[in-house]
Chains A and B, each alone.
Chain A
Amino acid sequence: MASSEHVEADNAEAIITRIEHKSRKIETLLKQNKPVEALKTALEGSPPKTKDERCKSANWIVVHRAIMAIKDVDSLFFSLDPEYYDILMKYLYRGLSTGDRPTCNQCLRIHEKLTEKAGLGCILRSLADTANTV
C-alpha cells in the first residue's frame, strides 16, 4: 500500500516536470505567433494518466493559456487533427465551469465550431468518459 503511494507521488512529480517543460515550449510558440501549434503541444499527453488533482490543475493551466491565445477559431480547425477533438472538448467544458467571463466567451466560441466539426458524438464521449477526466 505504502509502496504504491510512493510510486504515485514519484509519477506525479515526473508529470509535473513534463508539464512545466511543455509550458516553456508553448510560451516560445506563442511568441512566434503560432497559437495552433501551441494548442497542439498543450493537448499532447493529456489528460495526464493520474488521479492527482495537482497534475490535472497544472495541465489545465497550460491548456488554458493556449486556448486564450487563439484569435481566429476557423483557422484553428483547418490545422487541428481530429484526434485532438475529444480531448479539446473535455478542456472546453472545464473552461466553461470556471465562470470567468473571458474564458467562458472564448470556450463558447470554440465549442460551437467544434460541435459543428466533430458532431454530438464528441460531446457524448466527453460526458461518458468518467475514467479519464480533466
Chain B
Amino acid sequence: MAANTLRLYLTCIRNTLEAAMCLQNFPCQEVERHNKPEVELKTSPELLLNSVIICRNEAERCLIETSINSLRISLKVKQADELENILTKKFLRFLSMRAEAFQVLRRKPVQGYDISFLVTNYHCEEMQKHKLIDFIVQFMEDIDKEISELKLSVNTRGRLVATEFLKQFI
C-alpha cells in the first residue's frame, strides 16, 4: 500500500515535471545584458506559471515553481522522529554545500523545505530533459533509503559501543 502511494507520488511528480520543464532563454527585462532565473526573482508575474504543491501525506511534499527560463523544485522529506530529523538535516546540508558538483542543486533549500533544485534553460540545453527528470525522481527514491540506512547504522554503532563500554562493569 505504501509502495503503491510512493509509485503514484513519483509518477505524478514525473508527469508534472515533464510538462513544466519547457524552458527557453529569456534575457532580463529590467536590466540590459543580464540574464537571471526568473523563478528566483519573481519580479514579473507574466513570466511565472502557477506553482503546484504535490503532497504524498502530511509529512512529505514537493513544491514545483516554473517560469519562462527556470524551474525550482523543493522537497520536504519524511522525518519520523528526532533522530531522522537530525540525520536528514545533516545529510542534505552536506549535499547542498557541494551544489557545484550537482549543477542543478540549490545551495540553500527554500523556506519550509529540506532541499531545492534549480533547473535553468542552460541546463536543459546542455543535458537531456528526460535524464534530468530521471535524476530528480531517482534522488527522491534514494533519499529515503539513505536516511533509513544512516539511521540503522547509527543505532547499530550505538548498540556496539554501549555493549563494549558496559562489558568492563560485568
Residues of A at the B interface (CB closer than 8 Å) are 93, 96-101, 104-105, 108-109, 111-112, 115, 120-121, 123-124, 126-130, 133
Contacts and interface: CB of A to CB of B under 8 A. Distances in A.
Nearest to A126: B50
B50 A133 contact: yes
Contacts of B50: 93, 126-130, 133
A120 B52 CA distance: 15
Contacts, number: 71
A60 B54 CA distance: 17
Contacts of B53: 96-97, 99
Interface stretch (B9-17, B82-90, B109-117): B9-17
Interface of B: 5, 8-9, 11-12, 15-16, 18-20, 22, 45, 48-50, 52-58, 61, 66
A108 B5 contact: yes
Nearest to A92: B12
A44 B71 CA distance: 32
A123 B13 CA distance: 11
Nearest to B9: A108
A50 to B, nearest CB: 18
A123 B55 contact: no
13 contacts: A93-B52, A93-B54, A97-B53, A100-B58, A101-B57, A104-B55, A108-B12, A121-B19, A123-B20, A124-B20, A124-B22, A128-B50, A129-B50
A106 to B, nearest CB: 10
Contacts of B18: 120
